[in-house]
């Protein structure tokens, strides 16, 4: 089995090489699938990630979630943890830690109030294991959530592997939507 580092470098390269039009097309398909799930329909407060580096595009998902009257939350990386921050429709952004965009004006929310968390990843496997960028932010965050909070990974087909190397520190997602 490949190491986590090797899988990371392969996936980062594949994300970078993916054609923009294909990325947008697959992201739209993933959005359609996500918006049809009972978890999404039911959830009032949803944590999206601000996509970067070729990840499944979330900007259109966020706009549509606002139109549907959902409360949208995004992650802000602080020290060694993610703090969920409420996003306003007209929020301004600045680059935060690791070059990930975050709202300039921050209004934090308790993690227990989030009903659905959409999780980025470089790779996922059929058992719900996830490989992130190696800093452990999402693993630590997902451990804090209420048992009622659903976590869904968003990915492109090529990011789904049969099996990923996992440790007891790794937190699985409950569902993966891919295209």
pTM: 0.95
Domain that holds residue 78: 4-178
Percent of the chain topping pLDDT 90 = 92
Q: How high does pLDDT run on average in the chain?
A: 95
- The arithmetic mean of pLDDT across residues 61-88, rounded, is 95
Angle CA 59–69–155, to nearest 5: 35
pLDDT per position as a tens digit, 17-68: 999 999 999 999 999 999 999 999 999 999 999 999 999 999 999 999 999 9
DSSP secondary structure of the chain: ---HHHHHHHHHHHHHHS-HHHHHHHHHHHHHHHHTSHHHHH-SEEE-----TTPPP-HHHHHHHHHTTPEEEEEEEETTEEEEEEPPTT--EEE-GGG-EEESS--B--GGG-SEEEE--SEEETTS-EE-SSS-HHHHHHHHS-TT-EEEEEE-GGGEES-----TT----SEEEE-
pLDDT at residue 97, rounded to an integer: 78
pLDDT tens sequence across 84-102: 999 998 899 999 878 889 9
pLDDT over threshold 90, residue 4 = yes
pLDDT band of residue 163 (cuts 50, 70, 90) is very high
- Report the candidate in 175, 172, 131, 179 with the shortest Cα–Cα distance to residue 31: 179
The number of distinct structural domains making up the chain is 1
CATH number at residue 68: 3.40.50.10420
Q: Which pLDDT belongs to residue 9?
A: 97
pLDDT at residue 79, rounded to an integer: 85
């Amino acid at each position: 089995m490949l190491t986590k580092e090797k899988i990371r470098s392969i996936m980062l390269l594949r994300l970078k090489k993916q054609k923009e039009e294909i990325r947008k097309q697959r992201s739209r398909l993933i959005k359609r699938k996500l918006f049809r799930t009972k978890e999404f329909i039911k959830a009032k407060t949803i944590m999206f990630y601000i996509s970067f580096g070729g990840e499944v595009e979330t900007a259109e998902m966020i706009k549509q979630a606002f139109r549907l009257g959902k409360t949208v939350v995004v992650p802000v990386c602080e020290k060694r943890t993610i703090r969920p921050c409420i996003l306003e429709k007209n929020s301004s952004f600045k680059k935060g830690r690791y070059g990930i965009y975050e709202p300039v004006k921050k209004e934090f929310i308790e993690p227990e109030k989030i009903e659905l968390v959409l999780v980025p990843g470089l790779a996922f496997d059929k058992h719900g294991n996830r490989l992130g960028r190696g800093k452990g932010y999402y693993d630590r965050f997902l451990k804090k959530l209420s048992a009622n909070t659903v976590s869904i990974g968003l990915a492109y087909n090529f990011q789904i592997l049969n099996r990923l190397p996992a440790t007891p520190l790794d937190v699985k997602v409950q569902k993966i939507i891919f295209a």
